[in-house]
Amino acid sequence: MNEKTLLKFDGKLNTIEARTLIDSLSSYVTILEEANKSFYPNDKIDIKVTTFRPGSFIVEIDIIKFITNQLLFENHLLTNLGSITTVAASLYGLRKFLKGRKPKEIAEKKDGIVLTNSSNDKLELNRNIFNIYNSNVSIKEALNNHFEALNQDKSVVGFSISNGEKKLFEVKNEEVSELTNQEEIIDERVTEKTIKVKTSVTIFKIVFQKNYCWVFIYKGNKISAKIEDSEYIRIVDAGEKFSKGDILEVEIEIKQIFDKSINTYLNKKFTITKILNHYSKNFQESLNI
């Protein structure tokens, strides 16, 4: 069973910043995979970028679903929710509705819940969509990263998701800045936690000695992080060339400590557990279509 998704970046024709594209695709793929794991835990999906279309920058994605047990569908969480593409768009839409803030009110209904946002607007949605949005850290961070990438790239004036037949989600650049983070309900009993994020970092300083940290730029800040991807360390030892300014698409673990004085979690330690792709700083040239 195949699905098609179109991601459209409105703005400057035929070109897009490399970081915007990498972070957008990485974030969107994470959301698709996490939604599939939550609603279809026994099914596998294969996600492929099939083409880049000219005219406001459009990315076409095919989602190939391998259904391992059709009988699961009748009682599955995703029944009546639609496709994985629709679920992903609903998660983006929920972030836009909440504007990064906590719901002002949550009312239970027989078939779902009704949320009231900070502007007193109401949204009725499936309870399972809200549950995964509220509890899945990977989805939260992917949404943060995606909207942060859009916010940083001022040449992108809008972003939308469609299934090839109709538009499922749309946001304008003037709305993006308040969507880069989502307030969370803090449990002060949890003093330490580790989150896992799929994102991109820019190389700032290279250190080839074992057990030393490299220095990267992540979300506009310098961070030091160990690379614990043994397979990629072998590639480095074999002589792959790296330069300051190169972009790495990575899976990163962030250790966070709760600070009572400011009632929030602070990042304390970064560990890159897997390097997915390495793009030279000249990669941007190949994206001008």
Alpha carbon distance 26, 18 (integer Å) = 12
pLDDT surpassing 60 at residue 94: yes
Could you tell me if residue 86 is inside a domain? yes
Could you tell me if residue 111 is inside a domain? no
Could you tell me if residue 199 is inside a domain? yes
Could you tell me if residue 122 is inside a domain? no
CA atoms within 13 A on the CB side of 67: 9
Residues 258 and 209 in one domain: yes
Phi, psi of 143, rounded to the nearest 5 degrees: -65, -45
Q: Answer with the one of 117, 144, 179 that is the final residue of a domain.
A: 179
Alpha carbon distance 260, 162 (integer Å) = 42
Residues 94 and 52 in one domain: yes
Q: Answer with the one of 179, 212, 242 that is the final residue of a domain.
A: 179
Q: How many domains does the chain have?
A: 2
Is the CB of residue 125 less than 8 Å from the CB of residue 115?
yes
Question: Percent of the chain scored above 90 by pLDDT?
Answer: 41
Could you tell me if residue 118 is inside a domain? no
In the structure encoding, which two tokens stand for residue 145, read together? 């990263």
Alpha carbon distance 183, 180 (integer Å) = 10
pLDDT surpassing 60 at residue 273: yes
Residues 152 and 217 in one domain: no
Give residue 67's pLDDT: 54
Residues 214 and 169 in one domain: no
Residues 203 and 160 in one domain: no
Q: Answer with the one of 116, 150, 179 that is the final residue of a domain.
A: 179
Alpha carbon distance 62, 47 (integer Å) = 6
Could you tell me if residue 141 is inside a domain? yes
Alpha carbon distance 65, 45 (integer Å) = 4
Residues 8 and 50 in one domain: yes
Residues 256 and 159 in one domain: no
Could you tell me if residue 69 is inside a domain? yes
Residues 61 and 151 in one domain: yes
Residues 216 and 137 in one domain: no
Residues 7 and 94 in one domain: yes
Could you tell me if residue 105 is inside a domain? no
Query: Which CATH number is 221's domain given?
Result: 2.40.50.140
Give residue 227's pLDDT: 92
Give residue 54's pLDDT: 65
Better pLDDT: 187 or 17: 17
Q: What is the pTM of this model?
A: 0.69
What is the residue-averaged pLDDT of the chain?
A: 84
Give residue 168's pLDDT: 95
Neighbours of 33 (CB within 10 A): 19
State the sign of the Cα–Cα–Cα–Cα dihedral 236, 239, 243, 244. Answer: positive
Residues 86 and 201 in one domain: no
pLDDT surpassing 80 at residue 287: no
| 60-88 confidence digits (pLDDT tens) | 888 887 655 443 333 344 444 568 899 99
| 145-154 confidence digits (pLDDT tens) | 999 999 999 8
Residues 164 and 43 in one domain: yes
Give residue 232's pLDDT: 85
> What is the residue range of 82's domain?
2-100+130-179
Least confident residue range of 43-52, 168-177, 220-229: 43-52
